[in-house]
Amino acid sequence: MQVASPVAGAARRRSVNVPLGAALFVLIVVGGCRGDDRPDSADSTVVAPTVTRSPASTVPGRQPQGFTTVSLELTGTEPCCVWLADSPGERSRGLMEVTDIGAPVGMLFVYTAEQSTNFYMFNTILPLSIAFFDGDGRFVSSTDMEPCALPDPGDCPRYGAEAPFRYALEVPEGRLDELGIGPETTITPGTEAEGCPAA
């Protein structure tokens, strides 16, 4: 695509019955304000040049879309707010293309039974840390995950838990320590609550 430009070509000729000096003055003033060959601003269409980028890089501050939030209790700390991914579609989308996680501290992936599923970072912009918890909410393991810009998701590194898990909490890289999440941590997912707004 190209940026729309004024139509090239000769200026329109007009016959004007006024003295030459006055006509020249009018042409200079009018020409300086708006050329006859340019479209009116209301009718003009300017098309930005195409740039090859990942979708999220063109949307500053893009937060998760279509997710609800829930409160999450962590052992020994105040409840926090997290995005909830508890359906297959939500879990497969996760934090892809997100550039701003918003007020929630992360995204909680919830499964109906314990899993050995691996996670990957295809089309994910933010570096993340992930903590896995078993069906009783007990800490299993954690790791850091780096964004994968490879064109084929099958080539992206996989990140898994050290044992089966039922919950996985993704947060911006480094936030697990800030939240006090480690081997002694247990979690209890809550329900949507005041101070933990829906998306």
Condensed to tens digits (0 to 9), the pLDDT of residues 106-120 reads 999 999 999 999 999
Kindly state whether residues 108 and 168 are assigned to the same domain: yes
Q: What is the pLDDT of residue 198?
A: 54
Beta-carbon contacts of 132 under 8 Å, excluding residues fewer than 6 positions away, are: 139, 140, 141, 142, 161, 162, 163, 165, 167, 168
Reported pTM: 0.68
3-class SS at 177?
helix
Asked if residue 20 and residue 97 are part of one domain, the reply reads no
For residue 7, the one-letter residue type is V
Look at residue 97 and tell me if it is in a domain: yes
Give the Cα separation of 16 and 24 in Å (integer).
Answer: 11
Based on the fold, state whether residues 96 and 145 are members of the same structural domain: yes
146, 108 contact by CB (below 8 A):
no
Q: Tens digits of per-residue pLDDT, 44-68?
A: 333 332 223 333 334 468 999 989 9
For 37, the domain range is 1-50
Residues 46 and 62 in one domain: no
Q: Tell me the C-alpha distance between 23 and 11, whole Å.
A: 15
Same domain, 165 and 88: yes
Average pLDDT, the chain: 75
Q: What is the CATH number of the domain that holds 92?
A: 2.60.120.1140
Number of domains in the chain: 2
Q: Judge whether residue 30 has pLDDT over 50.
A: no
